Amino acid sequence: MKTFAFITAKGGCGKSSLTLEAATVFGNMYGKEKVLVIDLDQQLSISKNCGADTEAPNILDVLQGDVPIMDAVQHNDLFDIIIASPKLARADNIFDRAEEDEYLLADVLDFAKDTYDYVFIDPAPSRNILQEMLYIAADYIVIPTRVDESSLDAVVTTENELNRLTNGRNKKSHAKLIGYVLNEYNKQTALGQMALETLELSSEEKENNPFIATVSSAIRVSEAKTLHTAVCRTEKSSKTGREIYAIVEQMLEKIGEDA
């Protein structure tokens, strides 16, 4: 079982959208019953966008041991999903690092490894213990960003956080950074070119040379989410659909190199 997360330290960079689209592509390629999405966002963004039942058992129920993980799974037209809970906003008060609660997500995912080949974790919008759970449970990280300076600064923050957990004293995480996705990219603009060059330099500094992918527009993705579906399900031959498929191809290439 391979576990992915699109994560960055800044909101509005397309984390949930990329999770929904990439998980849909994996479902198209390998069978939706082999792909599980875990929603850690207290706003339930991806849960709502794929049309899940938001009153069903959720990931908080699972992490607290009230519901077995497989009993919280909903079968969807796009993939299987375990929804989030608004109560996750209080995660730092619910869970205790002193009790090693940051390992809970990795532990419960062990019970799903015989059912699913691929898991996507949609991150919480704020930096809290849920983020640490994600880094510990994930195998592969892709950092989405936009072309503005604050979004690119967040890439560095995210890399530093991952490095702290993978190379720190306790080496809590084994996750590998495999790629960057530059959203709202326009090669005709100076800002777009500067952002792309920044990511290229960052990739060159790393031994595994994370891939760099671009998405030119998020309009079609937003429209699809409103209809509780994905561009890669309804318009996969569109420019946006082709860009998402290209991202997935590069993800697969990177995990192939890691095999």
**Into how many domains does the chain fold?**
1
CATH classification at residue 150: 3.40.50.300
Strands 80-82 and 74-75: antiparallel
- Report pTM: 0.93
Element at 246 (helix H, strand E): helix 239-258
Query: What are the DSSP E strand ranges found in the chain?
Result: 2-6, 35-39, 74-75, 80-82, 118-122, 140-145, 176-183, 211-215
For 178, the domain range is 2-255
Taking only the tens of pLDDT, the chain with its 259 residues reads 999 999 987 777 788 889 999 999 999 888 888 999 999 999 999 999 989 999 999 999 999 999 999 999 999 989 999 999 999 999 999 998 777 899 999 999 999 999 999 999 999 877 889 999 999 999 999 999 988 999 999 999 999 999 998 887 778 899 999 999 998 888 888 888 999 999 999 999 998 999 999 998 666 666 666 666 787 777 877 888 899 999 999 999 999 877 6
Q: Which residue has the tokens 């919280």?
A: 72
Compute the distance between CA of residue 19 and CA of residue 242 in angstroms, rounded to an integer: 16
Question: 3 pairs with which residues across the strands?
Answer: 119
CA 93 to chain centre: 24
Compute the distance between CA of residue 44 and CA of residue 31 in angstroms, rounded to an integer: 24
Query: 204: number of CA atoms within 13 Å, CB side?
Result: 6
Compute the distance between CA of residue 84 and CA of residue 87 in angstroms, rounded to an integer: 9
Reference 112, options 150, 189, 59, 47; nearest CA is: 59
In sequence order, which residues have a C-beta less than 8 Å from that of residue 111 and are 6 or more positions away? 68, 69, 70
Sheet holding 211-215, edge to edge: 74-75, 80-82, 35-39, 118-122, 2-6, 140-145, 176-183, 211-215
